Copies of this chain bind each other. A is one copy, B any other.
């Protein structure tokens, strides 16, 4: 399915565990939809607590979910004993995230020994429709945790 061969056979377990350990993911109610090599989908259901003043999902939540989906996608490909840090991301908002459900899809477009580049797309789903609401590009760095 994916063009990438994971270096760590336990990639899915590790990525799910890392996401689960983030207090912020629980706070916004994010869940993991799927984890494949180089490709991760996260989602969050609309609640007023993650909205802005007009009843849409807050751009900051959209950005956080895209960043996280990208980092998790990169995380599926790293070697055992290494970690992933976001260097930077850029996100364009294409339409208001007026939805039942917001899905962020992160995918690796270039995996490197030091720097990895991902794309992340966010979609608002609801009432049988799916709308592309944001497009992000993310640069990440592989690192070796101290004390690991």
A residues neighboring B (CB under 8 Å):
18, 21-24, 26-28, 47-53, 58-61, 63-65, 67-68, 85-95, 109-110, 114-115, 117, 119, 132, 135, 137, 139, 141
Contacts and interface: CB of A to CB of B under 8 A. Distances in A.
> How many copies of this chain sit in the oligomeric assembly?
4
Contact of A49 (B27, B92, B119): B27
A48 B135 CA distance: 28
B58 A22 contact: yes
A141 B23 CA distance: 31
A138 to B, nearest CB: 9
Given A23-B49, A109-B135, 11 more contacts: A22-B51, A22-B53, A23-B47, A24-B52, A24-B61, A27-B27, A27-B28, A63-B64, A85-B93, A87-B115, A88-B117
